[in-house]
Structure 1
């Protein structure tokens, strides 16, 4: 709006005063900030930095030589987030190529130590063998088969097993309660969903299909937060058969898997199946 010339003049003087005041504030603010920063001990600085993403931590090496040396000190590596060390990939094995092992590929220049995905940290006296099923953002999902309860047991009896989620970089792992045995002829596909932004929480999804037709009928979801399994029927409008040998991708809160429209025709109608962690939202994306 238009203003009287006097008002405009007064406003201009006021702005000039503000500008003059602003030029005198930064040195004082910097002095206060420097004084406050001097009160932070190395332990406090490490505690703060340990809660930040790795990218931010390594940018803060530029703050000062003292911070650079503090962050780069090998004694502090376990406390601070590390940059990407490498990635896990799988290869098939077995006579029918139904099983696969995960391997670690180190990224050149990665500061973290190489990862051993052989799972040597698991108690070998408890498990007969361990199947590696899936990987998601650095965690591994495995199916651990226990030793038979008696040597004279029937060879046709299925081995007791439960799922294990582990971090091969740290050797930490947790066992997950097993579900009731699946009837003969039914297929089970288990997948892992893990968001590194919420490192204390993960989900295991066990998909089930029909005995004869082999298309998804539902999913049972385990939450590490509740410690319980919950079954959800499929809400897909189409009949879709999942690929058992392919891993999945956890993206924006939904697990994505590769499948084919059922019955499979000669054109191979490929789709991505996406389901949320409560089993309430199901989507298909044409490929």
Structure 2
């Protein structure tokens, strides 16, 4: 009865503060709430859960086209090309990671003389459902070699736990390419921090990152032990490190 006294604007304001999972559960409260949540005009005000795949396709004229394939077969609620992330033709953009509806991109100035090297790289985190994005400051430590594409970087975000996200950029020890530390960006603090590796083992990372249960995981290789693989995990403060042996065969 109390909820019936609230105006639609007040209900939208309350619903906009909920995680996407809870929002979809509230569609079952009543028909008016369902219509309010699913109304296209309210899309930008409410969190959206995206379930699908982003992929690129190259046409005959070698132009790259961005696409989104929805798991539910629905039309993409955003433009997969994300033109607003590329303000001019001299900049390129590469998708680095995705986590629970947020996308991590690396934006860079194109180097015409040496196209395999990215000049002036920086990270951008984007919510394609709302069109909002934030450009991250450069990490505190310089990355080697100059081509930062070779560095493993992951995005950590759980809207059920918090509206804030983290970006973890692993730092390598050259030569050898073993992990020596990690640079962590916190959207809550709006700044980077650095932590030395808490592992005894020398691990070379060799896969994309996955965020589960407050830890960012990535497959690594113990090259000095017959190429044995391990799962490396680190928490969002860089204080807790763990390695889990991957079963062989």
Which runs of 5 or more residues in structure 1 are unaligned? 1-33, 94-100
Moved more, 202-211 or 174-183: 174-183
Aligned 8 A contact 2:154 2:210 in 1:
no
**Equivalent of 1:274 in 230, 233, 242:** 233
**Residues 1:163 and 2:123 aligned together:** yes
**Residues 1:232 and 2:198 aligned together:** no
103 and 286 in structure 1: CA distance in 2 versus 1, 3 angstrom threshold = farther
Name whichever structure is richer in helix by fraction: 1
CA distance in 2, matches of 1:38, 1:156: 60
CA distance in 1, matches of 2:194, 2:26: 46
Aligned 8 A contact 1:102 1:132 in 2:
no
Query: Partner of 2:61 in structure 1?
Result: none
Q: How many Å apart are 1:118 and its aligned residue?
A: 2.6
281 and 166 in structure 1: CA distance in 2 versus 1, 3 angstrom threshold = same
- Pick the structure with greater CA Rg: 1
Q: How many Å apart are 1:108 and its aligned residue?
A: 1.9
Q: How many Å apart are 1:74 and its aligned residue?
A: 3.5
Query: Partner of 2:72 in structure 1?
Result: 108
Q: How many Å apart are 1:126 and its aligned residue?
A: 7.1
Query: Partner of 1:134 in structure 2?
Result: 97
Query: Partner of 1:118 in structure 2?
Result: 81
Q: How many Å apart are 1:143 and its aligned residue?
A: 1.7
Which runs of 5 or more residues in structure 2 are unaligned? 59-64
109 and 229 in structure 1: CA distance in 2 versus 1, 3 angstrom threshold = same
**Residues 1:255 and 2:216 aligned together:** yes
RMSD: 3.4
145 and 53 in structure 1: CA distance in 2 versus 1, 3 angstrom threshold = closer
1:10-65: CA deviation from partner (whole Å, max 9, x where unpaired)? xxxxxxxxxxxxxxxxxxxxxxxx3x344222323333333344454444445444
Aligned 8 A contact 1:254 1:274 in 2:
yes
CA distance in 1, matches of 2:146, 2:117: 14
1:217-242: CA deviation from partner (whole Å, max 9, x where unpaired)? 11111112222222211111211110
Q: What secondary structure, in the 3-state scheme, does the structure 2 residue paired with 1:192 have?
A: strand
Give TM-score, length-normalised by structure 2. Answer: 0.78
Kindly indicate whether structure 1 or structure 2 has the higher relative contact order, using CA contacts under 8 Å at least 6 residues apart: 2
Aligned 8 A contact 1:259 1:273 in 2:
yes
Aligned length: 238
Give TM-score, length-normalised by structure 1. Answer: 0.69
CA distance in 2, matches of 1:44, 1:92: 43
Query: Partner of 2:51 in structure 1?
Result: 86
Aligned 8 A contact 2:211 2:217 in 1:
yes
CA distance in 1, matches of 2:137, 2:83: 21
